[in-house]
Chain A
């Protein structure tokens, strides 16, 4: 039997990592309100994940960038941009963009759904790995913003009036919203929920 904060009536302050008794309301070290778990962690994470999933679809389906020059007009989606790199032999950059804007957000959302499902089921299967998975998506999640920044630089550089012009498409807005929502979702998930269930049986 391993003692957790729940079984020994302690509460951890996530801000300063000071451990207090449960009857203490405010952290004596940093004055924050103490909660034993992140508040409404499960529901908040679920809500943000679903919202992000909804935004994921238009983000990939609609054009994210419009290129206009004297001779041609082109609407391109995120995937078109990636294919462009592969066609021109820039495999490394193509892979980076693919990872950052298609693969990572999707994997992140699937991992969150999987984690929420295991919390719901109270499963004890490979909890260490699940923790590791959470840490990983927490770290790599921010990198999805890469595509938006690239777009910003492209637009500010290619701005030659009628001759050549790059403008944004609608997908950029839903893409950015999706990334921000996934960041909120990861932030509100509390990994301790994975470990809390059935602790007494150990």
Chain B
């Protein structure tokens, strides 16, 4: 199975290539797109997914910012926003925001933890296809990096009117978004399937 993976085809222009298979990235000579992306070792992905899993809960449930106006103080994170979206009659919007900032990151992290731990321990799983498809399709819907930038923008926006203070959740959120960014950058289909079929053999 692994030997057959030597013929390559460029995913963005369809050119057939012969692979030298040195374990490094290959660029297409016709359209200059990346044909193979060799990721890091499996332990790298596993470590990142564990770190993200630890950071996830404090990042999501602790307050991110607090805002003082007169005597009243308001602390907020995404859950409050969702609640108000929902109450104002924008159910669809709250579903979209819930999915991209809370649900999708969680599913992505859990799935990569399950998949990479199985691959790392060379354990056979029945759900390999499911895990891979989830990671493959969910990758661009995890919008934690955008969420971080949007927090910065709203700090600038709110600062004009009142005091804005960082909440304890913000540092966890920054860590989480960094982990999930690195994790999705290290995603390499070829590496994953090679590791899977290598464990198949032994």
* Interface residues in chain A, defined as those with a beta carbon under 8 Å from any beta carbon in chain B: 2-6, 8, 10, 12, 14-19, 28-32, 85, 88, 90, 93, 96-97, 127-128, 131-132, 134-135, 142-143, 145-150, 152-160, 163-164, 167-168, 172-173, 176-177, 180, 183, 187, 191-192, 194-196
B90: chain A residues at CB < 8 Å are 168, 172-173
Report the nearest A residue to B83, measured CB to CB. A156
Q: How far is the CB of A139 from chain B (nearest CB, A)?
A: 9
Chain B residues in 8 Å Cβ range of A191: 12-13, 31, 33
Q: Which of B13, B88, B101, B154 contacts A157 (CB 8 A)?
A: B154
From B32, B65, B92, B150, A173 is in contact (CB under 8 Å) with: B92
Residue from A17, A90, A146, A159 in contact with B189 in the complex, judged by beta carbons closer than 8 Å: A17
Give chain B residues whose Cβ lies under 8 Å from the Cβ of A148. Answer: 93, 96-97
Q: Which residues of A contact B72 (CB under 8 A)?
A: 160, 163
Closest chain B residue, CB of each to CB of A138 = B140
A94 to chain B, nearest CB (A): 10
A30 and B153 contact, Cβ closer than 8 Å, known pairs A157-B76, A160-B69: no
Cα A143 to Cα B82 in complex, Å, equals: 20
Report B29-62 residues with CB < 8 Å from chain A CB. 30-33, 35-36
Also in contact, A15 and B82, with CB within 8 A (given A5-B9, A150-B157, A163-B69): no
Q: Can you list 17 pairs linking A and B with CB atoms under 8 Å apart?
A: A6-B14, A16-B190, A29-B1, A29-B5, A32-B133, A127-B31, A128-B31, A131-B12, A148-B97, A149-B101, A155-B84, A156-B74, A157-B74, A159-B80, A167-B84, A192-B13, A195-B31
C-alpha spacing A63/B182, complex, angstroms: 37
With A159-B74, A195-B13 as known contacts, state yes or no: A146 contacts B136, CB within 8 Å.
Answer: no
**B178 interface residue, CB < 8 Å from A?**
no
For B160, list chain A residues within 8 Å (CB).
88
Most buried by A among B74, B88, B146, B149: B146
Bound form: Cα–Cα A97–B152 in Å? 12
Check A153 against B150 for contact (C-beta < 8 Å): yes
Q: Which residues of B contact A143 (CB under 8 A)?
A: 146
Q: Looking at A28, A97, A147, A153, which has the most chain B CB atoms within 10 Å of its CB?
A: A153
* Mask of B135-174 contacts with A, CB within 8 angstroms, 1/0: 0100010010011011101101110100010000000000
Per the bound structure, the CA–CA distance linking A96 and B193 in Å amounts to: 39
Q: B67: shortest Cβ distance to chain A, in Å?
A: 4
* Smallest CB separation, A50 vs chain B (Å): 20
Query: Are B129 and A31 touching (Cβ within 8 A)?
Result: yes
Q: Chain B residues in contact with chain A, CB under 8 A?
A: 1, 4-5, 7-9, 11-16, 30-33, 35-36, 64-65, 67, 69-70, 72, 74, 76-78, 80-85, 88, 90, 92-93, 96-97, 100-101, 129, 132-133, 136, 140, 143, 146-147, 149-151, 153-154, 156-158, 160, 164, 189-190, 192-193, 197
Chain B residue numbers with a CB within 8 Å of A153 are 64-65, 76, 78, 81, 150-151, 154
Knowing A157-B67, A160-B72 are in contact, say whether A145-B4 is a contact too (CB < 8 A): no
Contact A18 B4 (CB under 8 A): yes
Contact between chains at A149 and B97 (CB < 8 Å): yes
- B147, chain A: closest CB distance, angstroms: 5
In the complex, the answer to whether B69 meets A164 with C-beta atoms within 8 Å is yes
In the assembled complex, which residues on chain B have CB atoms less than 8 Å from the CB atom of A146?
146, 149-150, 153
When C-beta atoms are compared, the residue in chain B nearest to A14 turns out to be B11
- Out of B78, B81, B82, B153, which one reaches A97, CB within 8 Å? B153
Report Cα–Cα, A191/B34, bound state, in Å. Answer: 13
Task: Please report the C-alpha to C-alpha distance between residue A144 and residue B129 in the assembled complex, in whole angstroms.
Answer: 31
Are B14 and A192 touching (Cβ within 8 A)?
yes
A134-B12, A156-B77, A194-B13 known; 15 new pairs, CB 8 Å cut-off, are A5-B16, A12-B9, A17-B8, A93-B157, A127-B13, A131-B31, A147-B150, A150-B154, A150-B157, A152-B150, A153-B154, A157-B154, A168-B88, A191-B12, A195-B14
